[in-house]
C-alpha cells in the first residue's frame, strides 16, 4: 500500500495517515499480524516528523487496529479480519439505508442529515465506552 499525505489538506497529517491505514485494513491490503514500517522509517518515507507518525500509530493502537510487538520492535497490524467485518457491516448498513431512502422518496439533504445524526450518535456511544 502506498501512503500519500496531502499537505494542503485542512485535515491533520496524522489523521490522514490513520485514515489511510484503516482503509488499507478495510480493503484487505494488510494481513493479520503484518508489520508496518517503524515510526522512523515511515516518517522518512512520507517526509514528516516522527511525532506525526507516532500520534497516528497511537490512535490506531487505541482503536484496536495495531499493537506493539516488542519482539519485532515494530508496530504490527492486528485483528484486521474483525475490523474488516466491522467496516463491511457499516457499509452494508449504509447501502440498506440509501435503498430505503430511495423507496421512501427521502431527499439528498434529508439523507445527509440522517447520516450526520447517526454518525454523531455512534461517536457519542464510543465516548461512553
Residue 47 Ramachandran class (φ > 0 left, ψ -120 to 50 alpha, else beta): left
If you average pLDDT over every residue of the chain, what do you get? 78
Query: Which grid coordinates belong to 53?
Result: 507518525
- The answer to pTM > 0.95 is no
> Of residues 63 and 126, which shows the higher confidence score?
63
Higher pLDDT, 48 or 32: 48
E strand segments, 1-129: 66-69, 74-77
Amino acid at each position: 500500500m502506498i501512503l500519500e499525505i496531502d499537505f494542503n489538506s485542512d485535515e491533520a497529517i496524522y489523521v490522514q495517515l490513520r485514515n489511510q491505514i484503516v482503509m488499507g485494513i478495510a480493503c484487505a491490503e494488510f494481513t493479520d499480524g503484518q508489520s508496518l514500517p517503524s515510526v522512523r522509517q515511515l516518517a522518512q518515507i512520507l517526509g514528516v516528523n516522527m511525532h506525526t507518525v507516532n500520534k497516528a500509530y497511537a490512535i490506531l493502537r487505541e482503536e484496536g487496529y495495531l499493537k506493539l510487538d516488542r519482539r519485532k520492535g515494530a508496530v504490527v497490524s492486528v485483528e484486521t479480519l474483525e475490523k474488516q467485518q466491522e467496516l463491511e457491516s457499516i457499509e452494508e448498513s449504509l447501502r440498506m439505508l440509501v435503498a430505503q431512502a430511495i423507496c421512501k422518496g427521502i431527499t439528498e439533504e434529508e439523507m445527509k442529515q440522517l447520516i450526520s445524526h447517526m454518525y454523531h450518535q455512534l461517536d457519542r456511544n464510543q465516548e461512553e465506552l
